[in-house]
Structure 1
Amino acid sequence: MRDLFTSSKRLGLGAALGVVLGLFAFGQAAEAANPLELNFGLFGPQYDGRVKPCEAALGTITSQFQEKESTFWNSALQITAYGRITETAFRPWQSDNIPRRYCSADVMMSDGKQRTVHYSIIEDGGFAGIGQGVEWCVTGLDRNWAYNPNCRSARP
């Protein structure tokens, strides 16, 4: 009697699986998209390659650095001065990529130490793709290791 119930359970599960697979076998065949379903009228981004010069990002870097240090690291460290601002690269990859200007500068910190900041200015890289965005890293102060080792990922 016990074997009868066990075998009927297996039979029920197998039958249910067979019915489900049978329904999939008799479903509609896949078809190509009709002309109304095609993605016409959608064009890719139109980059102009107009990226601000290196000096334009310094105010953003100063304010973001001060905010990051005070908010996340409970530190009063600030950038007090910039020197030797140089462009490292402009659009170092293919022309179809998002235009970026890579720069480096020496910074004087409020603790009296001189460090290097590596940063990039990105066309349409601001919030929600509006305006120019800035990504930066101060060597020796990448506390969350976002650009490690030694801010290498912030450079081209």
Structure 2
Amino acid sequence: MFTRIILAASLAASAFVAPASAGLLDKLIQHKSFPDCHDAKVLNDIVKRFNNAQDYHTQPDIFIADITRIHERQVNEPHDDLREVNRRYCRGHAQMSDGTHPTLFFLIESGAGFAGNGFNVEYCMSKYDRWNEFDGSCRVLNY
């Protein structure tokens, strides 16, 4: 009787493990952690980081009021290698507090958050990239 219980328990447990080993769960988690260009978390992260970087850019009284005209430029997804990072290249216009609206380039990377979970956002506006972190005219993010 005890053997039957152990066998039934192991079969029940294998039903939950099989989809994960087939990679189905990984794809679901990967997809959920890879937001699109219009995602509020992405845009809020850009606004928050720029507005808190008063010492970085040369005009400390300037802040992003809104981000408009957002569109996806390119998506780089790994084909079969789970070690590669999904990258989504986006472009929009930042409406600044001084009335200007420079082009904003940004990149969303999946699996690049803390301990490989979540996502990471990098952004650039050439007028405010004082040390050319993303090369001239934000070339690194301009796909």
State TM-score, norm by structure 1.
0.62
Q: Which residue of the partner structure matches residue 135 of structure 1?
A: 122
User: What letter matches 2:38 in structure 1?
Assistant: E
Q: Which residue of the partner structure matches residue 21 of structure 2?
A: none
What is the distance in 1 between the residues matched to 2:114 and 2:97? 29
User: What letter matches 1:124 in structure 2?
Assistant: G
- The reply to whether residue 82 of structure 1 matches residue 58 of structure 2 is no
Does the 8 A contact of 1:66 with 1:76 survive in 2?
no
State TM-score, norm by structure 2.
0.68
Q: Which residue of the partner structure matches residue 72 of structure 1?
A: 56
Q: Which residue of the partner structure matches residue 42 of structure 1?
A: none
What is the distance in 1 between the residues matched to 2:127 and 2:113? 26
Higher helix share: 2
- The reply to whether residue 146 of structure 1 matches residue 106 of structure 2 is no
Q: Which residue of the partner structure matches residue 25 of structure 1?
A: none
Q: Which blocks of at least 5 consecutive residues in structure 1 are unaligned?
A: 1-45
| Structure number with larger C-alpha Rg | 1
The count of residues paired between Structure 1 and Structure 2 equals 109
Q: 1:142 to 1:47 in 2, by over 3 A?
A: farther
After the TM superposition, which parts of structure 1 deviate over 4 Å for at least 4 consecutive aligned residues? Answer: none
User: What letter matches 2:138 in structure 1?
Assistant: C
Q: How far is the alpha carbon of 1:136 from its aligned partner? A: 0.8
What is the distance in 2 between the residues matched to 1:53 and 1:99? 12
Cα RMSD for the two superposed structures: 2.1
- The reply to whether residue 53 of structure 1 matches residue 40 of structure 2 is no
What is the distance in 1 between the residues matched to 2:56 and 2:74? 31
Q: How far is the alpha carbon of 1:155 from its aligned partner? A: 2.8
User: What letter matches 2:56 in structure 1?
Assistant: F
Does the 8 A contact of 1:122 with 1:134 survive in 2?
yes
Does the 8 A contact of 1:47 with 1:98 survive in 2?
no
